[in-house]
Amino acid sequence: MEIKLADFSHKLELLEIWREAFGDDEDYILSFLNAYLLPEYNAPVIIADGKIVSVLYLVEFELYADMKVIGNCAYLFAAATREAYRGRGYMGELIKYAIQLYKNRGISAIFLFPQEGDEKLFKYYEKFGFKSIYQTKKIQGCSCRPLSQKPLKGCKPSADGGESCTLTDFRLVNHELNNVEIFDGLYQSYVEFTAKQNLSPLKDRLFYFKCASSYLDTPEKHFGVFERELYNSTENNVEKFCYVFYKKFENNYYIDDIIMAEYNEMRGNKLNFNETAELLADFILNSGEDIRLEMNILPEGFENNKLAMILGLNEKVNNIIENLKSPVYLNMFMNI
């Protein structure tokens, strides 16, 4: 057994392992390898029987805490072992090698996103020191019992000076990600929204576009903007509340990700994340008969559904992890 760092001559072998493990098509795999495989740098592999049998990738991003850059982190991605060679401890050896390699390079932390709901994977990575910090709270509702009965904020003024709360002012409009104006707004909102979360990795524009596009692989998955028409506005007639990635199967909606449109400062009565999520839920639940909805919102504690893990590689980051006072929220569709 030998551990080394892959180069471009290994592309075909890497493609084979990826396709066997995850079932992705060749174009998607090659698009990642062409963009993010750095020769002899970020793809440690194990060689056995004269061929690559195990591999993982590490993609570097800036690391944020309290809206400040505190170093670089590495996103551990697409860890895979050939089926015939599993159960021999190869992946564990690769992970230990990667941890030491990136610690020596001065990287502050390593992130990874185990398959959602797979408790065995969380337990597995815990053995190497990774901790679960990113979590979401899952809520459900149906049109027979609306999720929230609270008055809606941000509606047009009524004749008596109060607020006239009507869901007909709102709409969820589907878009293509290759619409430059729409993607610009999404990415700008993502950058600002992510920077406000402790220890959130910021993806560059190209990788973010690929991550978002990969979510939309099937016709049942959608990307939309939740918005409403503005009243008494001379400059803008549409107000964006959030960007939404969701699946719709028959009459069931599954909201996988919400990105707040925080860059939009024209809204005087600003909603927080959960208020926006509740408003979106009310809109969907009142849009038709027998509609059911499942979505993730910010949790109140760390006991909710786990989503991602982090391993601090220096004392400063470990202190931040140990002293987190509130959960960290991360975009669902980043689990690619």
CATH number assigned to the domain covering 137-297: 3.40.630.30
Which residues pair with residue 52 across a beta bridge? Answer: 47
Domain spans in the chain, listed from the N-terminal domain onward: 2-136+301-334, 137-297
pLDDT at position 336: 21
pLDDT tens, position by position, 11-20: 999 999 999 9
Cα–Cα distance for residue pair 178/336, rounded to 1 Å: 19
Q: How far apart are CA 99 and CA 109, in angstroms?
A: 9
Phi/psi for 285 (5° steps) reads: -70, -20
CB 66 within 8 A of CB 106: no
Q: Under a CB-based contact definition with an 8 Å cutoff, are residues 288 and 41 in contact?
A: no
What would the CATH number be for the domain defined by 2-136+301-334? 3.40.630.30
Distance from C-alpha of 102 to C-alpha of 121, rounded to nearest angstrom:
22
Distance CA 205, CA 39 (A): 22
Spatial contact of 295 and 248, defined as CB atoms under 8 Å apart: no
Structure tokens at 167: 């869901």
Instruction: Examine domains 2-136+301-334 and 137-297 and report if their fold is the same.
Output: yes
One-letter amino acid of 197: Q
**What global pTM score does this model have?**
0.71
Structure tokens at 255: 């909201």
Cβ neighbors of 178 (< 8 A, separation 6 or more) are: none
What tokens does 306 get? 């786990």
pLDDT tens for each residue of the chain, 336 residues long:
999 999 999 999 999 999 999 998 898 899 899 989 999 999 999 999 999 999 999 998 878 776 677 888 899 999 999 999 999 999 999 999 999 999 999 999 998 888 766 789 999 999 999 998 877 777 788 877 666 555 555 554 444 444 555 777 789 999 999 999 999 999 988 888 776 666 666 777 888 888 788 888 888 899 999 998 776 555 557 888 899 999 988 888 999 888 888 654 444 556 777 788 888 988 888 877 788 898 877 766 666 667 788 999 999 999 888 887 666 655 433 322
Strands 292-297 and 252-260: parallel
